[in-house]
Every structure is written in C-alpha cells, then in structure tokens.
A and B are shown apart, each in its own frame.
Chain A
C-alpha cells in the first residue's frame, strides 16, 4: 500500500490512479458531437446510445475505445446542450476520464455528477495512442509513452466532494442533502 496517499482518501484509492490510452480530439467538441440529437429516441436506452458516442467527431471512436481509455481534447470540450447523456454514454463506453485544456460549464458539472473525472491540463503534447497515467489525488498526468508529466488544475472543492462520493446521486443518498 502506498504511504504517500492521505488516509481519508483510501476508500476511493482504487479510483484515483487511472491508466489508459489517449484518443485525441480537437477544440470545441460539442455535446451534439458526443450524443447527436438524431439518437434522442435512445435516451432511455443509454447502452444503445453509447454505441454512437462521439460519432460526429470521430465515427470510429465507439468501436475503438477500450475500458479505461481517455478522451484527450483541446479547448472548450462539451460545449452546447445540457444533455447529461453525453458524459453518461462516454462513461458507459468505458472512457476513464476526459482530459482537456478547458471544458464548457454544464458538461463540467454533468461529468462530475455522473462520476466521469474531468482533468483540466495542457493536452497539447499528448499524442493519439500515448499511454497515460492520471493521478487524481496528486494532480498529475504522466505520458508514459513520451515520458513527460503535466500538472492538473485542481477541481473546486464542491466538485471534488461529489466526485469522491461517486457522483451526485451517491452524494445525496449518502448525506440526504448537499454536504459540500
């Protein structure tokens, strides 16, 4: 057991270091790209909708992504519609975390609420196919393929609390209120 991790985070420790392969996307990937409106009829069958995740940004992504892989994007990831189905189907498709230079506000909240970590960092040097290790507790992304590290912008405390509880549903079930 690692000794450098604070004791109170042990319960979630398994979740705090993620490893996977980078899938690269550009700037301004909208929730329409992630979960197109033409699949609105699948909103009550999210595992079906997940087969189309990110289809309008990369039609091959859904068939290529493996559990634990990362979506690595540029600026303003997740702009547009409030559809929470977007981060939900990313999670269902196995995406371990979203790494981006910046994220749009509603997507940011939604991703944390459904337990999909959002890692805001300099993604410019990460290449498609690189193996990454994301240490959420230390706030560091290591590119194991290229051998460099980048620092992560810390999450606001309220979002960290929600993420640590496993999402907003779990948070409210646990506390019966917003315990932020």
Chain B
C-alpha cells in the first residue's frame, strides 16, 4: 500500500509538471504573436484579444486535464484501497 501511495504522489507531480510544459510554450507563443499583432494594428486589438483568449482557453484545457488527473491521483485514487 505504501508503494501505491508513493507512486501516486510521484505520478501526480509528474502529470502536472510535464502537462504544463506544452500549454506553457503554446500560450507564450500565442501571447507574443497577439502582442505583435496589436502593436502593428492597434485598431484591431478587440478582435485579437477575444481570439487570443479563445485560443488560450483551448490550450489551457490540456493543462487542466493534467491537473484533473493529478487531483484524481491525490484525492480520489481508485487504487488506494
């Protein structure tokens, strides 16, 4: 049983840590590109902002899946007898 507990904690850390890498890179790129767009055409900033938030939300859901997995492993683990 201790092995399952230790493995769950380790897996939760790995899940959220590794799962945050991709969305982090993606959201950084998105924000940078959106800033470039706004700097080039400030009159379009409303549209750009809305689309950016939409795209970021879809990326963020990947990180959130990792978070949900981590929370399940920590608080609702089915294997923790």
Q: Does B bind A?
A: no
